[in-house]
């Protein structure tokens, strides 16, 4: 590193220095910064700023809390494609506590968390995956501490909170009807800290690292109404889908192995939730840009949207109602029938009464009227 020009030398203890030490060339680092900037739809002028910011940024302390989750989000990140620059960027942050990845356990692990909190009070980034059960604090505990207590305690000194995955962002699977654990999201509990939601089941690995890179380089990203970074969640899957022309033409796969499916036609009828889903899947894709669910022949589940588990069958078209109309229709028709018959009989009775009350008028009666 001593042979390099001073202008390209990263600051000591920074993300940049760590990456150099890991054997990432400046060229590789620049490529990563360019790719990240383009993914975030930043203008090329921002690339040098991103490079500079990341090279200078001190390695932030990150505390990662896992609550009611399936570890899929961590899997997504760690299994992305080792070793990528994204992976190393993630290593380059000082991950001080992550109970799935760390070797320590029990009280030793909790001690590490408390120390990291004390040392970096007000500066650390808190990453949360998993929802928090409020039904009974005993439903999910770590070292005897309930999830809600640990979250509230750790959030106090955080600079910002990143809710990774749909469970942390909105409640996700644990919150699905009938929500047996009383699960809630991070933003349901914490109102006084900046929260960035990175939903997905799991989120795209480069989106997680991209959000962290953005936070390190430029601070909080611009968020949409669901607190998702617009740079990654501003695009609609349906609008960006390469199968969209088939939707417009009315060419649909009816089953997963029919002619339409083989020809790569639109998956709307097979339940694709692309039209209501905002995520980077159709543009950034998965597995180093290899493909995304729709490209492999399966409709979008809408996993980056709140309550996507409760939207009825994954294999029913978006326009289909979620409930079962049969019983409701039966009751409605029975009630309509009963009231209709009653109303009809009443009308008949009225008619009969009118006929009975009808007085015949004779010519004499009319003459009588003239005289009076």
Partner 1 sequence: MSGAEFLLWVRGPAFDMAMAIFLFGLLLRFLEIFLLGRKTDLSVARGNAMAGGVRTMFTRFLPADKNSFQRSAFTIVAGYVFHIGLLVALFLFVPHIELIKATVGIGWPGLPTPIVDFFTAMTLIALIAVLFHRLTHPVLKFLSTGEDYLVWAVTFIPLLTGYMAYHHLFFEYAWLLGMHILSVEILLIVFPFTKLMHTFTLFLSRWYQGAMAGHKGVQS
**Stretch 209-228 residues interacting with partner 1 (CB under 8 A):** 225-226
- When the beta carbons of 159 and 167 are compared against partner 1, the nearer one is 167
**Stretch 69-98 residues interacting with partner 1 (CB under 8 A):** none
CA distance 232 to 228: 8
Are the C-beta atoms of 126 and 61 separated by less than 8 Å?
A: no
247 part of the interface to partner 1, by CB under 8 A: yes
Size of the residue set binding partner 1 (CB under 8 A): 48
Stretch near partner 1 under the rule CB under 8 A, chosen from 45-53, 144-152, 207-215, 231-239? 231-239
10 Å CB burial of residue 32 (0-12, 13-18, 19+) is: buried
Q: How far is the CB of 317 from partner 1 (least distance, A)?
A: 4
- When the beta carbons of 222 and 248 are compared against partner 1, the nearer one is 248
Cβ within 8 Å of residue 256, ≥6 positions away: 270, 297, 298
What do you get for the CA distance between the two ends of the chain, in Å?
Answer: 126
Among 58, 157, 221, 275, binds partner 1 (CB under 8 A): 275
CA distance 243 to 267: 8
Strand partners, 164: 129, 198
Q: How far is the CB of 192 from partner 1 (least distance, A)?
A: 21
Phi, psi angle pair for 369, to nearest 5°? -60, -35
DSSP string, 83-113: SPHHHHHHHHSEEEEETTT-S--HHHHHHHH
Are the C-beta atoms of 126 and 186 separated by less than 8 Å?
A: no
In degrees, to the nearest 5, what angle opens at C-alpha 272 toward C-alphas 269 and 276? 120
- When the beta carbons of 220 and 317 are compared against partner 1, the nearer one is 317
Are the C-beta atoms of 237 and 294 separated by less than 8 Å?
A: yes
Q: How far is the CB of 221 from partner 1 (least distance, A)?
A: 18
Among 343, 353, 365, 367, binds partner 1 (CB under 8 A): 343
- When the beta carbons of 218 and 256 are compared against partner 1, the nearer one is 256
Picking from 174, 181, 129, 186, the residue whose alpha carbon sits closest to that of residue 307 is: 174
Per-residue binding string, partner 1, 303-342, x by CB under 8 A, is --xxxx-xxx---xxxxxxxx-x--xx-xxx-xxx-xxx-
- When the beta carbons of 173 and 217 are compared against partner 1, the nearer one is 173
Among 48, 180, 219, 344, binds partner 1 (CB under 8 A): 344
> Contact residues for partner 1 (CB under 8 A)?
225-226, 236, 238-239, 247-250, 252, 268-269, 275-276, 302, 305-308, 310-312, 316-323, 325, 328-329, 331-333, 335-337, 339-341, 343-345, 347-348, 351
């Amino acid at each position: 590193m001593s042979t390099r020009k001073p202008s390209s030398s990263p600051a000591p203890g920074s993300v940049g220095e760590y990456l150099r030490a890991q054997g990432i060339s400046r060229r590789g680092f620049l490529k990563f910064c360019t790719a990240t900037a383009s993914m975030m739809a930043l203008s090329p002028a921002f690339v040098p700023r991103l490079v500079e910011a990341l090279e200078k940024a001190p390695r932030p302390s990150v505390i990662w809390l896992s609550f009611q989750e399936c570890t899929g989000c961590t899997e997504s990140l760690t299994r992305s494609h080792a070793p990528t620059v994204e992976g190393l960027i993630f290593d380059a942050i000082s991950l001080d506590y992550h109970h799935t990845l760390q070797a320590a356990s029990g009280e030793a692990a909790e001690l590490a968390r408390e120390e990291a909190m004390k040392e970096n009070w007000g500066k650390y980034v808190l990453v949360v995956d998993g929802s928090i059960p409020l039904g009974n604090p005993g439903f999910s505990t770590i070292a005897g501490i309930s999830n809600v207590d640990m979250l509230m305690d750790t959030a106090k000194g955080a600079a910002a909170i990143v809710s990774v995955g749909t469970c942390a962002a909105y409640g996700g699977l644990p919150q699905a009807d009938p929500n047996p654990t009383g699960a809630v999201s991070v933003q349901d509990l914490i109102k006084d800290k900046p929260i960035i939601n990175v939903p997905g089941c799991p989120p795209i690995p480069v989106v997680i690292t991209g959000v962290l890179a953005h936070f390190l380089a430029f601070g909080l990203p611009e968020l949409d109404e669901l607190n998702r970074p617009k740079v990654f969640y501003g695009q609609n899957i349906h609008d960006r889908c390469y199968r969209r022309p088939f939707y417009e033409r009315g060419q649909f796969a009816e089953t997963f192995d029919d002619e339409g499916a083989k020809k790569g036609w639109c998956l709307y009828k097979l339940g694709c939730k692309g039209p209501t889903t905002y995520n980077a899947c159709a543009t950034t894709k998965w597995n180093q840009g290899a493909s995304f669910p729709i490209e492999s022949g399966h409709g979008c589940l809408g996993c980056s949207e709140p309550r996507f588990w409760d939207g009825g069958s994954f294999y029913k078209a978006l326009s289909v109602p979620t409930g079962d109309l049969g019983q409701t229709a039966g009751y409605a028709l029975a009630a309509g029938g009963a009231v209709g018959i009653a109303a009809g009989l009443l009308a008949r009775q009225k008619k009969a009464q009118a006929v009975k009350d009808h007085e015949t008028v004779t010519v004499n009666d009319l003459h009588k009227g003239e005289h009076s």
